[in-house]
Structure 1
């Protein structure tokens, strides 16, 4: 029976606790930690846990915790993760992995040195539409990918950035490019690999209580000449999110849709219903996951600890996602086209370099300590929606 600790009792902690409770025969939540202990006590009561509650996570470092979920703000991910890895615990850390590539490298090294599992939350990989899209893409039936379109559309009210740590480059680390599109960027890298060049723009068009962007657009060039476009936003009403791949033979996407064309003698398209049917049949034959979202990723991490098999989303995956995000911030802030990978002497490799060089849109003039407990959105299911 694995002993679990939840570090950070904010809104996202519920997804972790509920995930662990799906596997009561394999693990038990034995500790909760939050800077505001009353929040941890509330979670303990909400889920009927027999768990120790502490204010400082360091009180748990010698308690023989097997697996820790780090659910704190991004600026604290690296210190807590490294401390627990060094104390002999495995770690599942919320997105984004850290505030800088320098911190990511230190986390990865701590996991390697201690022989422990380090996984970064990217629960959308564990949703049926994304998993099935990946398998269809890997089948090659759509042909080589020529263009990718990723719409990470979210909407957040002005007061969203009133929370004391949100909307600051130092504490939150960025806006929707980092904290919302991170899931879509992870999926894009998983499916298509790393681009070689990035050109980006960003702005803050609706949240003058935040230093960070609320809208960014990035253009991506891949080594084989394929192009991509990525929009990250918290100003899009309806929050309609999609990932579209235009292959040489067919278009496939999440939400699921397939369209295929062949050429008439004059070069104009005619629908290829036969290929569409073949690709759609493949998609429909793919089995559903036994679990989805956080529960599925927790199952994956538990299995890795139990069997020694690798996790689907490791520290290197989390780092790659942050590298592309930092490349977007660098391009948007400097106006330059950025080549990947980013070197260790790049200004955007460290938190300090980011702070010195990234665009600050506004200064926070006030803040609140906490919001009242409310449900949050943890990612689109990518299911097709009726118009």
Structure 2
């Protein structure tokens, strides 16, 4: 039985707790940590965690032989917490984004390598049937080489969203919608496409004058094999529609699911290709559905890796690759320059201090609250039809 601790009792912690409870024969939550002990105790009570203790300082657990922790704290705290537990011999699952800088991400990767323990970064959207099937179709190469990818990560957050004490600053949140909302769709795109070689970006803050960071950004990408792409990240889009569209030379597929295939008429205009559409649709229907969805699926993957040595679907390197692309967007949007990859330790945007110094500061925070009312949050669509 693996002993689990939840570090941070904010809104997202409930998703982690519920996911671990799906596997009661394999793991047991023994502690919930939060600087506000009443928040930790509330999570314990509402989930019926009879064997869990409420703890205010995670360092109290470093000597208690915890097997795995979920880090659900603000981004700027991820690196020190993860490194401390990894060095203490504990496997770590850390919420997105992996860290607030590439330097911190590299510190986490080094700690995992030195300790021999697992480091996984939450990307729960991979563990859904639409995403798994979309990945399977792309891997089949039925649609030919990819020529264009479109990522629309559209969310909506009210002005007061950035009143929370750690949000809306480059120092503590590490960025705005690109880092903290589009991160899931960027991760999925990289999983399916691989990394770009260069990008050009712009960003703005149109609706949240209580935040230093962006509330909308756009990036144009170029990939090594010649494909191009576009990522739009936003917390100003009503309706919160999200989609990934992959255009191949032979067909187009997307999540939410849609397949269209065309051939050329004698004049070059499109002619439907129902045969290829049916072939791709058949491939989708042959692929299995995901059994455990979202956080539960990722936690099952982590538990399997701990127990059997199987491969993590989302490891620390994946988390760093996603962060590097996002930092590239911030660099390009702040400097107006085209960015090429990789971003090395000498780059001005490699450290959190460098980002704080060089990134555009749109506004300064005007109001700060310690906690919001404990309401449900939106985790994004499952990208189903």
- TM bin (shorter chain): over 0.9
> Any runs of at least 4 consecutive aligned residues in structure 1 with deviations exceeding 4 A, and if so which?
none
Partner of 2:359: 358
Partner of 1:305: 306
In 2, distance between residues paired with 1:248 and 1:48? Answer: 53
In 2, distance between residues paired with 1:42 and 1:53? Answer: 9
TM (normalized to structure 1)?
Answer: 0.99
Tell me whether 1:23 sits opposite 2:23 in the alignment. Answer: yes
Partner of 1:284: 285
Partner of 2:13: 13
Aligned positions of 1:41-80 closer than 5 A = 41-49=41-49, 50-80=51-81
Partner of 1:329: 330
Aligned positions of 1:1-387 closer than 5 A = 1-49=1-49, 50-384=51-385
The DSSP-based 3-state class of the residue aligned with 2:109 is: helix
- How far 1:225 moved relative to its partner? 1.5
In 1, distance between residues paired with 2:359 and 2:270? Answer: 45
The DSSP-based 3-state class of the residue aligned with 1:133 is: helix
TM (normalized to structure 2)?
Answer: 0.99
In 1, distance between residues paired with 2:138 and 2:222? Answer: 19
Consecutive unaligned residues in structure 2, runs of 5 or more: none
The DSSP-based 3-state class of the residue aligned with 1:30 is: strand
In 2, distance between residues paired with 1:365 and 1:230? Answer: 30
Q: What CA deviation, in whole Å up to 9, does each residue of 1:272-308 have, x standing for no partner? A: 0110011011111211011110000000000000011
- How far 1:21 moved relative to its partner? 0.2
Q: What CA deviation, in whole Å up to 9, does each residue of 1:224-261 have, x standing for no partner? A: 22100000000001111000000000000000000000
Q: What CA deviation, in whole Å up to 9, does each residue of 1:200-243 have, x standing for no partner? A: 00000000010000000000011122100000000001111000
In 1, distance between residues paired with 2:132 and 2:182? Answer: 18
The DSSP-based 3-state class of the residue aligned with 1:97 is: coil
In 2, distance between residues paired with 1:234 and 1:92? Answer: 26
- How far 1:379 moved relative to its partner? 2.3
CA RMSD of aligned residues (A): 0.5
The DSSP-based 3-state class of the residue aligned with 2:171 is: coil
In 2, distance between residues paired with 1:191 and 1:11? Answer: 29
Aligned length: 384
Consecutive unaligned residues in structure 1, runs of 5 or more: none
- How far 1:359 moved relative to its partner? 0.2
Q: What CA deviation, in whole Å up to 9, does each residue of 1:53-94 have, x standing for no partner? A: 111100110011000000000000000000000111000000
